[in-house]
Amino acid sequence: MWFIQPREDYKSSIPWKNVDDDVISWQIRARNYSVKSANVMFASVFILALLAGWVAILFGGNNTLLSIFLGGGMFFFTIFIGMSMTHQTAILAYRFTESRGEIFSWNPQADAVKPLMKWTAIGSAALVLVLILIDPAFIVASIGPVGLGIAALAMGNSKKQYNFWRQEKHHEFEWRKTEKIRVWRKRNVIALTYPYKPFKRNSRYRPRTEYLFFHKHELEDRIAFFKEHLPDAKYEEGPVTIYS
């Protein structure tokens, strides 16, 4: 599963667009979005988990031990599912050459979706088969396992669909054109703002920001690096609004 995967160096296996030698590269697992917004969403999930736990306790009836088991199990299960949706982490790999910067990111949680769907389909199909042998009317219950199996098969055969589930992103930019360096020490983020022209015709340059995430122990060295290589860029510190 994604939450017990060993640490791995992905930088060498990523299909980078720029073949020039890199001057700096790193990778990190981080939440590349506004955590404040995610916390608000999780508050709603927490209330839903309390309600789910309460309903499960009612099903336990007068059996106190069973009520606690059902209620606690449902609460923690709902919390786990909620956090997997609101507080996902991404693996981000960065590579900077003399002229170009590249960012490659994906959601590692999605890597567990396909095998999870596959084995859930197999297990539920076996259960449905037993039920059908008991009562043929249970054949209607086979819709679920068949649907999961088809979805898992579609993910395996379609690279585009698999990348969609992984939220895979890969883009490059001219980091030497950076006009502003902003550091947010609370989240160990360096934001590089540079002029960007989205279309070649009938469009104007507008500012665009790349958010670079670091481990806490790397931040000072990275700040020194960008200050040295971008001497004309304005430097400032403070919170930044992160858009993933």
Query: Which tens digits make up the pLDDT trace of 112-129?
Result: 656 655 555 566 566 656
Q: Which helix (H) or strand (E) holds 207?
A: strand 206-213
- Shared domain check, 152 and 242: no
- Shared domain check, 141 and 198: no
Query: Does residue 1 lie in a domain region?
Result: no
Domains of the chain: total: 3
Q: Could you give the C-alpha distances from 63 to 49, 70, 85, 194, in angstroms and in order?
A: 21, 11, 33, 64
- Shared domain check, 201 and 147: no
- Shared domain check, 102 and 70: no
Q: pLDDT below 50 — which residues of the chain?
A: 1-4, 6, 141, 157-158, 161-162, 164
Q: Could you give the C-alpha distances from 56 to 22, 32, 52, 81, 134, in angstroms and in order?
A: 56, 35, 6, 16, 28
Query: Does residue 5 lie in a domain region?
Result: no
- Contact assessment for residue 107 and residue 29, using Cβ atoms and an 8 Å cutoff: no
- Shared domain check, 183 and 102: yes
- Shared domain check, 70 and 84: yes
For residue 186, what pLDDT is reported?
A: 92
- Shared domain check, 128 and 225: no
Query: Does residue 8 lie in a domain region?
Result: no
User: What is this structure's pTM?
Assistant: 0.67
DSSP conformational letter for 6: P
Query: Does residue 3 lie in a domain region?
Result: no
- Shared domain check, 157 and 197: no
- Shared domain check, 234 and 133: no
- Shared domain check, 96 and 179: yes
- Shared domain check, 243 and 199: yes
For residue 2, what pLDDT is reported?
A: 43
For residue 117, what pLDDT is reported?
A: 57
Residue 33: closest CA among 205, 157, 189, 222: 189
Query: Does residue 55 lie in a domain region?
Result: yes
For residue 230, what pLDDT is reported?
A: 95
- Shared domain check, 144 and 115: yes
User: The domain containing residue 69 runs over which residues?
Assistant: 33-88
